Structure 1
Amino acid sequence: MTTSSSLVQIPSLSYQEIMIPTSCAMMIGFASGATTSGKLAAYQFMVENLHRLPQTRANWFFFQKTKNYKVILGGFKGGLRTGAKLGAWTAGFCTLKEAFTLVPAIERRKSLAGALSGLNIALGASLFYRLRPTISPQRLLLGTLMGLCAGLAEDYKTHLEEDSSV
């Protein structure tokens, strides 16, 4: 029989470190996608219906009403699509960063964990979107640098919290 003191503590991923950035990214992605897709839906409606413009005032009212419905629907669909994509990539980055911090060699260095996860996410994105080989090294460097910046910001925050508690 084992006692509770002899059990090995297995560190787990931090829920807040993953869910807060992911939900923020989803909201930003939704706002960005809704505006872009709403404008595209308005242009598409105008192009499709330009040959049969309404002649009376009542018909103009229904024309604008239908256009507004199409814009709202297109914006909502595009916002959901963009928010889901950005949220998924952010969740992948944050999960990798937290998983890398569980490695004993880089346990206290979130900057190194951020750089490694940024590199992995950039590699995954370049493979997923099939980027040209001439563009891929630039994206890998950009992903690594952005991950390093995110990790350095988190290291600096931890350093400031330790200094203020002393």
Structure 2
Amino acid sequence: MALFPPLDASPEEVRDALRPLRNDFSVALHTAGNAFAVGAVIRVAHSFLVREIILIGNAPYYEKASMGMEKYETIVSVPDDDAFFAHVAGRPVWAIEKDHARRSLYDVAGFPRGVVLAFGSERGGLSAEFIARAADVIGIPMYGVNHSFPLAVATGMVMNEWARQHYSAR
């Protein structure tokens, strides 16, 4: 059910048209370390019309991987954890971290309003200090010998579960 903007619409006109359709959750990427993966996440996050995409640290993103969707998204860059937590003050932060999970994504019965879903790098995940500041820690079950999902896949899985829970009743 993709929307088709008029071909002559500016990016700002498209952003304005999408604003009332945005969903009440955000995605944060903590020092992702892979510019292509960050671009892919921007593309996937656009498909779920997230409130914003927050980049923690100074990792760049590859615009070609976002397939132009960065033009329509609110992308916020913050330098560190303190700036991130100040930016999202008052909103619940859920760390998505397999090795320190308090519960499985499959056990989430509801996402809180305004939740910020925070993902770390494929190599290092999220730091213990960041996890300690999170309201919850969710793990995505894995069944092979691979240690992590690609970042765009993991974010897509969690955003899809958010959407499944919010839109299945409609």
Query: Which interval holds the TM-score relative to the shorter structure?
Result: under 0.3
* Pair member with larger Rg: 1
Higher strand share: 2
| TM-score for both structures, normalised by structure 1 | 0.21
Higher helix share: 1
| TM-score for both structures, normalised by structure 2 | 0.20
